[in-house]
Structure 1
Amino acid sequence: MIDITAFNRNLKNGHIENCYLFCGSDEFLIKENIRKLIKRVVKSDFIDLNYAKFDGSSLEDFDTVINACETLPFMSDKKVVLIYRASFMGEEKGCKSKLSGEFKKIHDYLKNIPEHCVLIFYYLFKSKRDKPGRRIYSLDKDICVVRADKIKGYQLENKVQEFFQLRGKNIKKIDLRVFCNLMEGNNLSAIENEVEKLCCYTYGRDIKRKDIQEMFLKNSEEDIFDVVNAISNKNLKDALHLLNELIYSGAKINYILVMIERQFSILFKIKLLLENGKQKTEIMKLLNIRSQYRYNIMVQQSKKFTLKQLKKSIQLCLNTEKDMKSFSLNEKTELELLLINTIA
C-alpha cells in the first residue's frame, strides 16, 4: 500500500500499474489524482473511445466491467476503465452492493488484467475514522492500493495556494500557514469551500490576517468557551462530548489545547482583578474583552473556581502540551485526561 506522495512520484517517473484501488475519506483528493492518472494514460483526442466508467454503488454485473477491460483500445496503447464509489470493496457487513458476494471472482480477475488496460477502483470511507479492511489488504498483494490520506504541511499549503491563485487572490505565506493550520483535518473539498468564502469576504482586496481571524477563529473560540463552561459546571459528560465534536469537525488537538489554556488564563486574570477591586470597564479594557455579555458569562465561570484551581488547570494544560511534544502519546486521550483532571 502506498500513499499519494509515492503515487505521484511513480506517475512522474512513468511507472504505471495495470490496476489501482484508491481508498480514503477525501473524495476530492482521490478524484484529483485519478484525473492525473487518466491524463497520463490516455490522450485527450481519444478519451471518449478509450475511457469507460461505472458507478460501483449500482453496478449489478462485473462481467460488464470485464468486457470493457478486454476490448482493445482505439488508436492508443492503453485504455482506462474506472469504477467509482466501489462500495463492494468494503467489508461484507452492511454492504448493500450486489457485487459484494462476487468479491472472489473480482479478485481473481484483477490478477490478470490485460496489458492494454488500466483498471481503476476507488472506495470511499464512510468517515475519517475508517481504515482499510480485510478485503483491501488482501488486494494489496496483487494490485496497487493507494491510501489517499489527508495531505498536510507544505503539501497542503501548496494545494491551498493553488485554490487562492485560481481565484486571483493574493495571500502572504505566513497568513496562508495560519489558514492551513485552522483547516488541517478537513478534506480538500471542504477547504476549497472555505477558500471561496474567504475570497468572497475579501472581494476587491488582498487577504489580511484579520480576515482569517474574524471568519474562522470566532467560531472556534465559541466552541472552546462551551468546553470550559461545561468544566466550570463540573459536567464531564458534556465537556467530553463537546471535545469530540471539535475534533471530528477538524480542529487540531494542539489548537484546542492552547485555546483551553488561554480560556483558563483569562478566567484567572478576571478573578484576580476582581479580587483586587478592579471595575468591569477597566477589566474589559485590560483583557481586550469587547462583548459585555461574554464578560458577564466569564465572570460567572470564574466564580466557580478558586484562584488555586485555575492555576492548577493552567499548569495541567502546560504539562499536557509538554508531554505531547516530548513523548509518543495518544493526543486525544491526553486531552480527555486533561478535562477529567480539571474537573476532579
Structure 2
Amino acid sequence: MALLTASALGKTIRENDIDSLYYFYGHDTAALESFTKRLVNKLCPADAQVMNFHKLDGKNLDFPMLTDACEALPFMAERVVVTINDLNIDAVTKDDLDDLKKILGSLGETTTVIIYATGVDLFKNKKYLTDKNKRFADFCEKHGTVCNFEYKRASDLGKSISTYLAKSGCTITKSNAEYLANLCLCDTAFISKELEKLSAYAEGREVTREDIDLLCIRRIESDGYSLAINILRGNAAMVFTRLRELDVQNYEPYAIIGIIGFSLADIYRAKLARSSGRSVADVAKDFSYAKNREFAVKNAYSECGNISAERIRKTLEILSETDLMLKTRSRGKDGDMLTLEQGLARSMALRC
C-alpha cells in the first residue's frame, strides 16, 4: 500500500507491520539481496522453511507452482513465504501478466510474496523503470509495499564502514570512510569486498588513505573525475600514468574516453551553475543526479573556479571528435589507445 525508502521499510518490518506483497528493485543489489534474506528469515524462520518457504525463478516462472504456494496454508508456522527472483515484466506475455496479477491481488493473510530483482536490468535509463515494469510496480504498490534500493550517499555509507571496521578492532577517519565509499561508487557489494581486505591487512590499527589506495580496486568510473580535472589543469604526468594503468587492465579506449566525457559534463554543469549563482543542490536537482553521484557535482563546484568555461567547452569538443574517431575508424586496441592519447594531449595543450 506504499512506496517506501529502504530505511522506512526497515522500520515497518521491525514494528511487525507486515504486508502480503513486496516488490524490491534498485541499483544497489547487494543491499536489496541482503534485506530480502533478512526479511525471509524473519517471516519464516529456518526451522519452518522446509514446508513454508518457496523460492521461484522469475525468468522461468512456474505459474501452477506459484498458485499452489500462494494458496497453501502455513504448516506449524505463522506464514507461508514465496520469493520470486529476477522477474522482468518486459519478458512476460499479456496473458501471463494477467494471471500473475490475479494471483498477487488476492493473497491470503498468512501468505507473503516477495518479488526482488538482483540479476536483471529493469531500468530504461539510470533512474526510471521501463514502462511495463513501472506499471507492474504501481500494481504492487496498490496491493502491497514497493521499495527502490537506491545507492546511499557516501556520508551515510561512511558510518556503516566505520561500524564494520570497528568489529575487527580497526578504525578509520570520516573522510577516509567517505573516500572509500566514493571509490566504490557507493555500491555496497564492492564496499563489502574491499572492507574484508582492509580489515585483514590493517590488523586492528587505523585504516589509512594509503591502505585504501594500495589494496582497493579502483573502478574506472571513479577515475573519470580525477582524469577530467587533471586534463583541464594540464597535468600530463598524472593523466598518462593512469592511462597506462588502465591499458594494462585491458580497458578499451572508447570506454575510458566515455567515462572522462561523463565527468567533464559534470564539471561543465558545475562551472555554469557557479558562474550564474546557482548552488550544488540546484545542479543535482535540475539534472536529476542520483544520491551516489551528488559528490561529483560538489567536487566539481569547489574546484572549477579557476578553470574557464571556454577551456572546458573546447576540451569537450576535442574529446567528442576523438570519441567519434574511435567509434568509426578503429585501428585496433594499440592504435585506438594512440588516438586517445593524441586527443588528450591536444586537450591539455589548449591555451585559454
Gaps of 5+ in 2: 237-253, 290-295, 315-352
More divergent stretch after superposition (103-112 vs 202-211): 202-211
Q: Which moved more, 1:124-133 or 1:37-46?
A: 124-133
Check if 1:178 corresponds to 2:178.
Answer: yes
Q: Which amino acid aligns with 1:19?
A: L
Q: Residues 204 and 115 (structure 1 numbering): CA distance in 2 closer, same or farther, change over 3 Å?
A: closer
Equivalent in 115, 131, 134 of residue 109 of structure 2? 115
Provide closer, same or farther for how the CA distance between residues 326 and 227 of structure 1 changes in structure 2, counting only shifts above 3 A. Answer: closer
What secondary structure, in the 3-state scheme, does the structure 1 residue paired with 2:117 have? strand
Q: Distance in 2 between matches of 1:323 and 1:239?
A: 30
Confirm or deny that 1:330 pairs with 2:324: no
Identity of aligned residues (%): 17
**Cα 1:2–1:73 shift into 2, 3 Å:** same
What are the superposed Cα offsets for residues 60-99 of structure 1, whole Å, 9 maximum, x if unpaired?
x312111011111111121111111122x3xx3xx3x5x6
> Structure 1 residues 246 and 112, CA, compared in 2 at 3 Å: closer, same or farther?
same
The aligned residue for residue 12 of structure 1 is 14
Partner of 1:57: 59
2:218 and 2:152 map into 1 onto residues whose CA distance is 25
Please give the per-residue CA displacement for 1:282-337, whole angstroms capped at 9, x wherever unaligned. xxxxxxxxxxxxxxxxxxxxxxxxxxxxxxxxx95893697333634328798799
Question: Is 2:115 aligned against 1:160?
Answer: no
Residue 342 in 1 paired to residue 344 in 2?
Answer: no
| CA displacement at 1:161 relative to structure 2 | 3.4
Which residue pairs with 2:349 in the alignment?
Answer: none
Relative to structure 1, the CA distance from residue 35 to residue 341 in structure 2 (aligned partners, 3 Å threshold; closer, same or farther) is same
What is aligned with 1:306? none
Do residues 243 (structure 1) and 280 (structure 2) align?
no
For residues 215 and 317 of structure 1, the distance between their equivalents in structure 2, rounded to whole angstroms, comes to 37
Aligned AA (1:117): T
Shift of 1:184: 6.4
8 Å CA contact retained: 1:227, 1:239: no
- What SS does the corresponding residue of 2:84 show, helix, strand or coil? strand
In structure 2, what residue type is equivalent to 1:148?
F
Shift of 1:209: 3.5
Contact 1:42 1:78 in 2 (8 A): yes
Matches for 1:75-94 after TM superposition, within 5 Å: 75-87=76-88, 89=89, 92=90
SS for the counterpart of 2:54 is: strand
Q: CA deviation at 1:174?
A: 2.1
Map 1:28-43 to 2 at 5 A. 28-43=30-45
Superimposed CA distance per residue, residues 221-254 of structure 1 (whole angstroms, 9 cap, x where no aligned partner): 9654643576569xxx99972335669xxxxx9x
Name the residue aligned to 1:298. Answer: none
Q: Please say if residues 85 and 115 of structure 2, whose CA atoms lie closer than 8 Å, have aligned partners that are also in contact.
A: yes
| Change beyond 3 A, Cα 1:68–1:23 | same
Instruction: Quote the residue 1:196 is aligned against.
Output: 196
Contact 1:50 1:80 in 2 (8 A): yes
From 126, 131, 135, give the equivalent of 1:129: 126
Paired with 1:34 and 1:214, the residues of 2 have a C-alpha distance of 34
Maintained 8 Å contact 2:85/2:117: yes
State whether residues 83 and 120 of structure 1, in contact with CA within 8 Å, keep that contact through their aligned partners in structure 2: yes
- Alpha carbons of structure 1 residues 329 and 195: separation in structure 2 relative to 1, 3 Å: same
The one-letter amino acid of 1:115's match is E
Q: Distance in 2 between matches of 1:189 and 1:321?
A: 39
Deviation by residue 1:106-138 (Cα, 9 ceiling, x = unmatched): 112211101111111113462681523232223
2:181 and 2:191 in contact (8 A); partners too: no
Go from structure 1 to structure 2 and tell me whether the alpha carbon gap of 1:211 and 1:32 turns closer, same or farther (over 3 Å shift). same
Aligned to 1:140: 141
Distance 1:330 1:109, change over 3 A: same
CA distance in 2, matches of 1:84, 1:46: 21
> Unpaired runs of 5+ in structure 1?
248-252, 261-314
Q: Give the secondary structure class of the aligned counterpart of 2:108.
A: coil
Partner amino acid for 1:32?
S
- Write the letter of the residue equivalent to 2:14: K
Q: TM-score, normalised by structure 2?
A: 0.62
Please state how far the C-alpha of 1:100 moved relative to its aligned partner: 6.4
Rg comparison, structure with higher value: 1
- Where 1:145 maps in the other structure, the secondary structure is strand
- What amino acid is the match of 2:260? L
